[in-house]
Amino acid sequence: MNPPPRRAPRHGPAPVDSLASLVGATPLVRLRRIGADLPGVRIYAKCEFANPGGSVKDRPALRMIEAALLDGRLGRGRTLVDSTSGNTGVAYAWICAALGIPCALVMPSNVSAARKRIAQAFGAELVFSDPLEGSDGAIRKVRALVDAEPDRWFYPDQYGNEENPRAHEQGTAVEIAEALDGAVAAFAAGIGTGGTVMGTSRGLRRLAPGVRCFAVEPAEPLHGLEGLKHMASSIVPAIYREQELDGKLEMPTAEGWAMAERLGREEGLQVGHSSGAAVAGALALARRMAEAGERGNVVTVLPDRADRYFEPRRWDRRTSW
């Protein structure tokens, strides 16, 4: 009797039913050169560009959509619509495409060409708001659309939806704490909607006792750190609660851009300017710790890759007979 055929060992992940199930479980990478001169302090970066849609916004977008499908707010032919400066829009677009949900996005007309074209490639309808009004103008425009036709739209409202920070509290924070066995001395993340910094901070306070949590904010109202908000001059998101944090780190645009360039040259990480600002904030915290004789791990989040900010070559489909 012949023995049964041996099954080859599995190398790599198991198959999945939907691309949406691959959101999360992103790598945590130690920065080897940036901050290397600080004794006893290590800086780690959570590589959220490794999500299927290429950004940290995949987490809250998926969570908000799944919650709305579960309780019936989404479905029955309704179109998802929300305001976005780019990354959340791309996340909505690809997740809606994967799940068969119509999607419309309201964004300032000056967001990067790459983000516009990526969202359109997933079939999303784009509605543009005044570029001079920034993300606040997009918020006002989407609210007007929903008020005019409430039965047509599902409006998740990423700035006011508690599923946004909850995605990070129950996902991002858990992954960071598990990777470092709870040894997180400080955490820093940029403020956009506030979801990443609020949710991850809440989760880390539970899983990494003694952690100090900081928001990284543009230093100027008119800044070049796309995706980040200067709170004093903006509509403050309902999910952002500054009193829960240990403080804010003001970041000049030039410093965020310079750090993004350093990350490419010194760490092999081609990331966006919001990532540069976040790492510059983490480095500032690490220096404070080293100067005070403290030791420990400082963690930050890299929201996206640099290709979101590049002008892509455009191919036009042509048919010849």
Indicate the average pLDDT of the chain. Answer: 92
- Amino acid letter, 59: R
Identify the three-state secondary structure at position 215.
strand
- Active-site residue 141, yes or no? no
Where do you find CATH 3.40.50.1100 in the chain? 19-55+162-309, 58-154
- Active-site residue 275, yes or no? no
List, in order, residues 6 or more apart from 110 with CB less than 8 Å away. 131
- Residue of 46, 57, 116, 141 marked active site: 57
Query: CATH for 58-154, among 3.40.50.300, 1.20.1090.10, 3.40.190.10, 3.40.50.1100?
Result: 3.40.50.1100
pLDDT digits (tens, 9 = 90+) for 36-92: 999 999 999 999 999 999 999 999 999 999 999 999 999 888 999 999 877 899 999
pTM above 0.85, yes or no: yes
- Residue of 83, 112, 201, 274 marked active site: 274
pLDDT at 146 > cutoff 60: yes
What mean pLDDT comes out for the span 251-259? 97
Beta strands in 95-211 (DSSP E): 103-108, 125-129, 153-154, 186-190
Locus of tokens 């790459």? 114
What mean pLDDT comes out for the span 278-284? 98
Residue 145 Cα distances to 76, 139, 150, angstroms: 19, 10, 8
Instruction: Work out the percent of the chain whose per-residue pLDDT is above 70.
Output: 93
Class of domain 19-55+162-309: alpha beta
* CA nearest neighbour of 305 among 266, 267, 274: 274
Residue 200 has a pLDDT of 98
